Structure 1
Amino acid sequence: MGRGQRGRIPLSNPMGVVPLRRNKQFQLLWVGSAVSQVGMELTRLATPLLVLALTGSPGWAGIVAGARTAASVMAQLPAGVWVDRWDRRRTLIAVQGLQTVNAAVLAALIVGDRALVWHFVVTAVIDGGCAAFLRPTRTTAIRGVVPTEQLPNAYAQEQARLHAARLIGPPLGALLYGLGRAVPFVVDAVTFLVAALCAAGAKVPRRPKSEPGGRRSMRRDMGEAVAWLWRQRGLRAVWAVVMMLNLLSPAYLLPLIVLVGERGGGALGTGTVLAGAGIGGLVGALLSGRVGRLLPPGKLTIVFTAVFGASIVAMALPFGPWWPMGPLVLFSLTMPAFNVVTSVVIARLAPEEMLGRVDAVLTAAGFGLSPLGPVLGGALAAALGGAGSIVLIGGLMLLTAAGAALSGDLRRFSG
């Protein structure tokens, strides 16, 4: 947040506001999420490596990743309704507690050398269902504990958490995987437990300040959110692009792992290359406020998609196993600004009593095609190899950017 924005705070809140760094509720939520995000990044690399070791098939690794995403998308809409109805605090603690148990069960199976492919699929489905509840619950929790004028800073800090974890997680995951196949999964279970304890200590407001009156059906509650979103033409255009991005962005991960392996990179090399997303994202999170002010949300969406596509195509250039790290850093620089801008727009525009449902509808729409992404990436990697798959996926992203540039609603959308 710039100086001008900080200077306006006393006008919007004459009593003054607590600086975000001293907001204990938000910082506890942030610490818990940061720790669990690192754990998730450990297994983000360790899971496909272990599934590949068990089956020898990139396709099975893609199915496991796709199962998690599919479960999350399918549970998203009812989760949004229930989050708006239920106690926020209890929901957050319960979801993160279930994630802890789920991760601990998988870790125990791996430690006992009893893990089969279907175990990974089942635990991925459970984790995906938890994620469907976690995102709208965190969105409403942040809205409940952070003043509106501090939301850009809060979401920038959220992006820093995400990308710092992506920087630390892959190489650390590769290192722990080298110590023992079960080690990353045991650590992941511990990180979920830390997140649940932090959620309990944060004591977020239990319910929205205003709630729909009377007993309402789920269809009516969800229809209300869909109707509100349908009237936001610019936001609809942004989310059409997001839908394509969330189909194609999960698809490049498995081909990238295959590409690095084809060029002689081992597990540690792969983890280091993937850390490029964390490096770029962490720097981008620090610059997200400035970048977000350069372009309105609509034009930022077009630019981000074009940079993303061009960077993925560039990964296939024949410059050795370490080369893809450079393009990963490049497109990750723009990702935090895009995420911060869209998150702030949603948090400010959506009525608080509808925020869980709005977030759920947008997430379900944005990620509607994403379960196909890992499956698509695995199938392409098996058929075309790493480089061919990456060129095809990046080319499709560039076509998406070209189509987005033709949308008048998107070009005019200011948020």
Structure 2
Amino acid sequence: MLDAGPLRRNKQFQLLWVGSAVSQVGMELTKLATPLLVLALTGSPGWAGVVAGARTAASVVAQVPAGVWVDRWDRRRTLIAGQALQTVNAAVLAALILADRALIWHFVVVAVIDGGCAAFLGPARTTAIRGVVPVEQLPNAYAQEEARNHAARLIGPPLGALLYGFGRAVPFVVDAVTFLVAMVCAAGAKVPRRPRSERTGRRSMRRDTGEAVAWLWRQKGLREVCAAVMMLNLLGSAFLIPLIVLVGERGGGALNTGTVLAGLGIGGLVGALLSVRVGGLLPPGRLTVVFAAVFGVSIMAMALPFGPWWPMGPLALFSLTTPAFNVVTSVVITRMAPEELLGRVDAVLSTAGFGLSPLGPVLGGALATALGGAGSLVLVGGLLLLTAAGAALSGDLRRFSG
């Protein structure tokens, strides 16, 4: 029986949260620094998209096997090992940049390894939270998770641009240090090891995966939400490079770009503080439709000709709704899925939801090359509005309450 004391006094959860918060800031540093450096080395938005797409592709490909193995393995050791590998991976890239020997294929390889680690750490973290947080406190726990994500998005881009100005390798060195901090925190959290009776043992991966897929398929409404999320993630991963190009076309530099991207963090942080309350206003199905519509309008609004700082406003607007959507869906999945299936269900949902995401940065880079920043954003926003309309036509999705 888990201690139902205040969440702020749950040392295991808070240690996991601190480690993830630090490493998330590091990832946000390099999310901006990497395309800036790749653009500087190659002059091609397309290559910047390929690097970003490689990470997502690796994560998607590894997701389902990772979910099966997380349900078989010790979740504590999985967390520590995954973050240790991320530390080494980031340190190698930082060393190559410091030595002025980094080539485009180095960025691709590092992105693939990092994406593979993320595939394991996602379901491992989900099962760890389930293991240390009482069920009735899950909404507050996931709201705190959202606050972490958006605070990192607020701090990371401008800090990454600032550090990039000090030297191209600096953001990548800091990223390696943040992964190390996350590994130490995961070790200190002492996440309970899953009892052997809950592990799946030596069974075929096809059978283990099939159990999770069959469970998901029986959940009417949830599967339709997952289909909508697939399109949202594809298009959501396509707008970043056009946005970077747009700010550059309007005369903005690296620091300007980082500050604009901080709009994600500003809106998201405010939204995270209100997410439990806002999430209670609509059931998950209808919330999906509203979120997709706000997302599409905001992306299109970035293209309005109001200067290099303008996109920060629409970014903050749509990120206000993101935490409520994420908290509601995370809590629904964590509560609905049996614990012995949770790692696999998390992985299957992530694979389905992010299945098209590797194409997003590549699509964004190609659109930015062909249409420029503004034209690309108008097109991406229009496709998001079509996704909202399609979701609204699904009766199972509209009725889904979780």
Alpha-carbon displacement from aligned partner over 1:30-52 (angstroms, at most 9, x marks no partner): 00000000000000000000000
Q: Deviations over 1:256-282 (max 9, x none)?
A: 000000001100000000000000000
Q: 1:314 aligns with which of 283, 301, 313?
A: 301
Post-superposition offset of 1:214: 5.7
TM-score normalised per structure 2: 0.99
Is it true that 1:408 corresponds to 2:400 in the alignment? no
- Rounded to whole Å, the distance in 2 between the matches of 1:397 and 1:112 is 42
Q: Separation in 2 of the partners of 1:57 and 1:230?
A: 41
Q: 2:334 aligns with which of 342, 347, 354?
A: 347
**Which residue in the other structure is 2:223 paired with?**
236
Match of 1:179 in 2: 166
Map 1:93-242 onto structure 2 (within 5 A): 93-207=80-194, 210-211=197-198, 215-242=202-229
Number of the residue aligned with 1:288: 275
Which residue in 2 is equivalent to 1:387? 374
Counterpart residue type for residue 15 of structure 2: L
The CA RMSD measured in Å over matched residues stands at 1.1
SS at match of 2:177: helix
Q: 31, 34, 39: which one pairs with 1:52? A: 39
Residues 327 and 212 of structure 1: is their aligned pair in 2 closer, same or farther, counting only changes over 3 Å?
A: same
Q: Distance in 2 between matches of 1:35 and 1:16?
A: 26
Alignment CA distance shift 1:209-1:402 (3 Å): farther
Tell me how far 1:16 sits from its aligned partner: 6.6
Is contact 2:301-2:314 (8 Å) kept?
yes
The residue number in structure 1 matching 2:59 is: 72
Query: What's the counterpart of residue 254 of structure 1?
Result: 241
CA deviation after TM superposition for structure 1 residue 377, in Å: 0.1
- Distance in 1 (CA, whole Å) between partners of 2:195 and 2:282 is 32
Distance (whole Å) between structure 2 residues aligned to residue 50 and residue 17 of structure 1: 47
Task: State the distance in 1 between where 2:129 and 2:395 align.
Answer: 32
State the distance in 2 between where 1:213 and 1:240 align: 28
Runs of at least 5 residues in structure 1 that lack an aligned partner in the other structure: 1-12
Q: Deviations over 1:234-257 (max 9, x none)?
A: 100100100001110010000000
Instruction: Determine the C-alpha separation between the residues in 2 that align with 1:16 and 1:88.
Output: 20
Candidates 28, 33, 55, aligned match of 2:20: 33
Give, in angstroms, the shift of residue 105 of structure 1: 0.2
One-letter amino acid of the counterpart of residue 343, structure 1: S
Preserved CA contact (<8 Å) 1:210 1:353: no
Tell me the equivalent position of 1:268: 255
Q: TM-score, normalised by structure 1?
A: 0.96
Deviation at 1:207, TM superposition (A): 1.2
Match status 1:328 vs 2:321: no
Contact 1:169–1:275 (CA under 8 A) maintained in structure 2: yes
* Aligned pairs, number: 402
1:212 Cα deviation after fit: 5.3
Alpha-carbon contact 2:157-2:261 (below 8 Å) kept: yes
Inter-partner Cα distance in structure 2 for 1:161 and 1:167: 10
Q: Which stretch shifts more, 203-212 or 123-132?
A: 203-212
Q: In structure 2, what is the Cα distance between the partners aligned to 1:402 and 1:245?
A: 12
Whether the 8 Å contact between 2:72 and 2:200 is mirrored in structure 1 is no
Counterpart position of 2:77: 90
Q: CA deviation at 1:215?
A: 3.3
Structure 1 residues 97-119: Cα deviation after superposition (integer angstroms, max 9, x where no partner): 00000000000000111100000
CA contact under 8 A between 1:106 and 1:185: conserved in structure 2? yes
Distance 2:23 2:98 in 1: 20
Structure 1 outlier segments of 4+, above 3 Å: 212-215
What is the letter of the counterpart of residue 97 of structure 2?
I
CA deviation after TM superposition for structure 1 residue 210, in Å:
4.4
State how far apart, in whole Å, the 2-side matches of 1:343 and 1:71 are.
22
**CA deviation digits over 1:171-223, x for unaligned, max 9?**
00000000000000000000000000000000001115742566311110000
Aligned residues of 1:312 and 1:327 also touching (Cα < 8 A)? yes
Distance in 2 between residues matched to 1:236 and 1:209, nearest whole Å: 30
The residue that corresponds to 1:8 in the other structure is none
Q: 1:334 to 1:35 in 2, by over 3 A?
A: same
3-state SS of paired residue (1:404): helix
Q: 1:235 to 1:302 in 2, by over 3 A?
A: same
Distance 1:406 1:299 in 2: 11
Alpha-carbon distance in structure 1 between the residues aligned to 2:265 and 2:253: 19
Equivalent position amino acid for 1:99 in 2: Q
- Contact in 2 for aligned 1:208/1:352 (Cα 8 Å): no
